[in-house]
Structure 1
Amino acid sequence: MDREYNTQYIRSIYLKRDEVPSYQTYPFHLPSIKSLTELALHPNVTFIIGENGMGKSTLLEAIALSIGFNPEGGSLNFNFSTYDSHSTLENYLKIVRGIARPKDGFFLRAESFYNVASSIEAMDSEPGQGPRVIDSFGGVSLHEQSHGEAFFATFNNRFRGNGIYILDEPEAALSPLRQLSMLTRIQDLVKEKSQFIIATHSPIIMAFPSAKIIELTETGLRETKLEDTNHYTIMKQFFDDKDRMLHHLLRE
């Protein structure tokens, strides 16, 4: 399944450390950013994981912006903005690209997906438009579907292959069954020469075979495997003996 590393779209991410104004201010004070030199990516799927507050979404957003995506998500030609809240980290990242160039791309984030859906409706309402934008998302208004349905419709219909796809906590909108379906779709797209960078808390999504897992911790970044993550360990402990765990959690 793996492609050669010299054919991937994004090979690695560097922090331009000499240009950082201060490591005492956000987001450069975060251990994951403070210790960042080079982050080498897998040619197929790279997961960025970690507890809340470790900087997963901040780093993922900065990578997306460095490539040319809108901070709230969408394809490379989406340029709307409802609230400018992103950090300046993208100004200090160097993107090392591979030989190949993607023909498609999308930045999909659960927290601002509503704004993407609204932007699509706004573009389709403009006079003199060509083909409807929504047709590439399945043809049904994303606002007329549940959050999970719209999110999954985008993933299934809009992602065309030969692309770079950046996903920020997709499990927030997906049931466990849909997360399993997502693995199948990722595999199909990888076979169509696509590359994924995904921030997630979901052990189901992290289980994609041969993926690279980068964990952001209080001491920096480290490569790990699924079975060594807290996400996997806690879920396994819970389902192996949920009564015991609940007894300790809920005892008075």
Structure 2
Amino acid sequence: MGLRQPPVVRVSVPREGRAERLPLGRWPLTVPAVEHLVRRGLDLAPGVTFLVGENGSGKSTIVEAVAEAYGMGVEGGSTGARHTTRPSESPLGAALDLRRGIGAPRWGFFLRAETMHGFYTYLEETRVRRVDRPEPEEPVFHELSHGESFLELLRTRFDSPGFYCLDEPEAALSFSSTLALVAALHELVARGGQVLCATHSPVLAAMPGARILEVGPWGLRPATWEQLELVEHWRAYLTDPERYLRHVLG
């Protein structure tokens, strides 16, 4: 009996109708990483794939688009979620084609740091006891700190095989809580989950066994943790903060 495939095997944009849906010279195709994805596609391995890069490099645009193409709410939520406040997504998600894994679970969840406040309100307004997982009772996320609410969301939503998209989840987390996220992702993968995550965190990107794609003017390129510009800059800053701060502070 063959091994079950991950929920998403490949992400691509079909050539037919590509020019109409994603015109050259217009956003988001002006972003090198997005153009790279559109022209070459992206194979997703089982386990965790990190997209690491600067602000504006396109990593969040890609994660959001993949989540949308999978059927998740673009402002966060599980497959089928329709919570929305102000549509701002790019046309990339509607243009993507996902090759699904044979025999893989169809459930997924999108954790998007910048829209979680609205998502928590949506959960409160539509609170329904889930018959598949009735215990433990879901917390009231607005009554928790930002970091605590993220960890509770991990506890109540990241507990089964499926496809998980995360957009800069470390934004709400302390150092120790980021390590807790690494542990949660490790357990999730052990249960058969697959993760695509955009991050700025060298702590998160150091997760053993994860695949790293560095995002930048070159598009998308495989990298090891030691090769990341992000890691190089953090190491240099922690060794000599004044070297950086004297340029920032004049």
TM-score (norm 1): 0.89
Gaps of 5+ in 2: none
Partner of 2:177: 178
Pairing 1:7–2:10 present: no
Residue 146 of structure 1 deviates from its aligned partner by: 1.1
Gaps of 5+ in 1: none
Residue 242 of structure 1 deviates from its aligned partner by: 3.0
State how 1:170-249 maps to structure 2 within 5 Å: 170-247=169-246, 249=248
The one-letter amino acid paired with 1:108 is: L
Instruction: Specify the SS of the correspondent of 1:12.
Output: strand
Residue 16 of structure 1 deviates from its aligned partner by: 2.6
Q: For residues 182 and 129 of structure 2, what CA distance do their matches in structure 1 show?
A: 33
Residue 225 of structure 1 deviates from its aligned partner by: 1.1
The superposition leaves residues 46-78 of structure 1 with CA deviations (integer Å, 9 ceiling, x where unpaired) of: 011211111111111110000000110111132
Instruction: Specify the SS of the correspondent of 1:11.
Output: strand
Q: For residues 132 and 186 of structure 1, what CA distance do their matches in structure 2 show?
A: 25
Q: For residues 138 and 49 of structure 2, what CA distance do their matches in structure 1 show?
A: 30
The one-letter amino acid paired with 1:92 is: A
Q: For residues 109 and 164 of structure 1, what CA distance do their matches in structure 2 show?
A: 14
Pairing 1:58–2:61 present: yes
Pairing 1:160–2:159 present: yes
Kept in 1, the 8 Å contact 2:4–2:104? The answer is no
Q: For residues 112 and 132 of structure 1, what CA distance do their matches in structure 2 show?
A: 27
Say which of 93, 101, 111 aligns to 2:114: 111
Pairing 1:98–2:97 present: no
Change in CA separation of 1:6 and 1:101 when aligned onto 2, cut-off 3 Å:
closer
The one-letter amino acid paired with 1:171 is: E
Q: CA RMSD in A?
A: 2.3
Partner of 1:121: 124
Change in CA separation of 1:134 and 1:149 when aligned onto 2, cut-off 3 Å:
farther
Change in CA separation of 1:218 and 1:101 when aligned onto 2, cut-off 3 Å:
same
Q: For residues 32 and 154 of structure 2, what CA distance do their matches in structure 1 show?
A: 32
The superposition leaves residues 82-141 of structure 1 with CA deviations (integer Å, 9 ceiling, x where unpaired) of: 1111111112211111113225321001100111111111112xxxx5559997685320
The one-letter amino acid paired with 2:67 is: A
Pairing 1:39–2:38 present: no
Q: For residues 192 and 32 of structure 1, what CA distance do their matches in structure 2 show?
A: 30
Say which of 65, 68, 71 aligns to 2:71: 68
The one-letter amino acid paired with 2:13 is: L
Residue 163 of structure 1 deviates from its aligned partner by: 1.5
The one-letter amino acid paired with 2:42 is: L
Instruction: Specify the SS of the correspondent of 2:74.
Output: coil
Change in CA separation of 1:209 and 1:25 when aligned onto 2, cut-off 3 Å:
same
Q: How many residues align?
A: 244
The one-letter amino acid paired with 1:32 is: A
The one-letter amino acid paired with 2:44 is: L
Instruction: Specify the SS of the correspondent of 1:79.
Output: coil
The superposition leaves residues 157-180 of structure 1 with CA deviations (integer Å, 9 ceiling, x where unpaired) of: 221221111100001111111001
Change in CA separation of 1:45 and 1:13 when aligned onto 2, cut-off 3 Å:
same
Q: For residues 189 and 49 of structure 1, what CA distance do their matches in structure 2 show?
A: 21
The one-letter amino acid paired with 2:230 is: H
Partner of 2:24: 23
Q: For residues 29 and 243 of structure 1, what CA distance do their matches in structure 2 show?
A: 35
Q: For residues 52 and 95 of structure 1, what CA distance do their matches in structure 2 show?
A: 26
TM-score (norm 2): 0.89
